[in-house]
Amino acid sequence: MPETTATQRVRTVLFYGFLAILAWMVFLVLEPFLTPLVWAAVLVILFYPWHQRLERHWRPTQSALVSTVVVTTILIVPALFVMTGFVHQALGTLADIEVGGFAGHIDRLNRMWTWLAIHLHGGPAIDLTSLARNTAERATTMLAGELGGVVRQFLLFLFDLLIAIIAMFYFFRDAGSIMAWLRRLLPFGAAQRERMIDEAHDLVFVTVASSLAGAGLAGLVGGLAFFVVGIHRVIFWGVVTAFSSLLPFVGSWIIWVPAAMWLLAEGHPGRAIALLAICSVTVAGIDYVLRPAMIGRMRMNGLLVLIGVLGGIAVFGLIGLVLGPVILATATSMLRTYTLPAASHGSSEGATSPVIE
């Protein structure tokens, strides 16, 4: 006896309901590993052209192993070394901030600040010594309370790092089959599908190069500048400079300008001028010239790039620097494909939209 229409609808609803539940359960299983998996995918995308050259001479497993070892050696091991040095020097920096010594170093800066407040503002200035003392005490108390959490997060970072390295090997080895599956999954014509893949690849490459590589270069140059002028714990200050360089519309000047003021307050005007000169030419050039020039290579509208970066960081953390713009670009490409007339899909490769430059 043939099934009725109502029975067919029930079976269809049950099928898609089961599919939705299965997809949700798969997400729950993968969710703890999404961050290392995405980072592994990003690194594979960046190094895949080099990996393809290895595949011409070696087997897939051998070339994947070599590529994984190379990426781990030139990127992950130095990053782990820098992170370990940063934590060690950060603890040392906080340990140096003692009430007596800190107040003694800041007295001259406090007098300069008071003079400026009286002559420019006409009123009493904030007591920088008391403010610095209270800030140091709060930072020390917070650090002591969060020390267990810091250790736990470091262990989780090591676990995620191991997952990312293992995932890189499989992504390198199975990249061809993964891309073939992705092409079958995308419900578009061949031309639109390839355009979306190319745009996503370009966005990942340019975003990582402009944001992460730019921040790393700014941190390296900033750390060297701090070393030249005699400021100790250069790894700590270099990492702080790199992270501040990621802040949109701000940049790393919020680190090296106060550092120059500190040198001036300690009676080292030559060092202060040298730090300002070096950082204003090199670090500021990276923040405000090199990175905007690299971002300008992307075909996305500048506003969407900014929203994608900020929203991505807010939702996904540091990996949002890459995921945010890629998600917006993919959504834009899908909307453009669906809104174009069907007859023009094959001839609209060069078409633009209000959000694509």
| 336 pLDDT tier (thresholds 50, 70, 90) | confident
- pLDDT at residue 308 above 90? no
Q: What is the 3-state secondary structure (H, E, C) of 256-295?
A: HHHHHHHHHHCCCHHHHHHHHHHHHHCHHHHHHHHHHHHH
Mean pLDDT of 317-341: 73
Res 315: pLDDT: 80
Q: In whole numbers, what is the pLDDT of the chain averaged over residues?
A: 75
CA distance 246 to 344: 40
Mean pLDDT of 274-283: 85
> What SS3 class is residue 58?
coil
Residues 357 and 299 sit within 8 Å (Cβ to Cβ): yes
For 2-37, the pLDDT digits (tens) are 556 778 888 888 888 998 999 899 888 888 888 888
Res 166: pLDDT: 93
C-alpha dist (Å) from residue 54 to 71, 94, 261: 14, 47, 51
Give residues with Cβ within 8 angstroms of 221, minimum separation 6: 278, 279, 282, 283, 286
Angle, to 10 degrees, between the axis of helix 214-228 and the axis of helix 269-281?
160
Q: CA 206, 207, 212 angle in degrees (round to 5)?
A: 115
CA distance 166 to 163: 5
Res 176: pLDDT: 87
| 169 pLDDT tier (thresholds 50, 70, 90) | very high
Res 87: pLDDT: 73
Sign of the CA dihedral with 57 first, then 63, 66, and 67 last: positive
| 356 pLDDT tier (thresholds 50, 70, 90) | very low
Residues in the chain: 357
Res 130: pLDDT: 60
Mean pLDDT of 163-168: 92
- pLDDT at residue 350 above 50? no
Burial 217-249, CB ≥16 within 10 A → b, else e:
bbbbbbbebbeebebebbbbbbbbbbbbbbeee
Range name among 17-21, 40-44, 198-202, 337-341 with the lowest pLDDT average: 337-341
Mean pLDDT of 234-248: 81
Mean pLDDT of 313-334: 76
- pLDDT at residue 79 above 60? yes
Instruction: Give the rounded distance of the alpha carbon of 122 from its chain centre.
Output: 43
Range name among 37-46, 228-237, 286-295 with the lowest pLDDT average: 286-295
Q: What beta strand segments (E) does the chain contain?
A: none
Mean pLDDT of 161-186: 89
For 212-236, the pLDDT digits (tens) are 777 888 888 888 888 888 888 888 8
Reference 345, options 354, 336, 353; nearest CA is 336
One DSSP character per residue, 108-170 reads HHHHHHHHHIIIIISSPPP-HHHHHHHHHHHHHHHHHHHHHHHHHHHHHHHHHHHHHHHHHHH
Res 354: pLDDT: 39
pLDDT, greater one: 242 or 266: 242
| 167 pLDDT tier (thresholds 50, 70, 90) | very high
- pLDDT at residue 168 above 90? yes
CA distance 272 to 256: 10
pTM above 0.95, yes or no: no
- pLDDT at residue 248 above 70? no
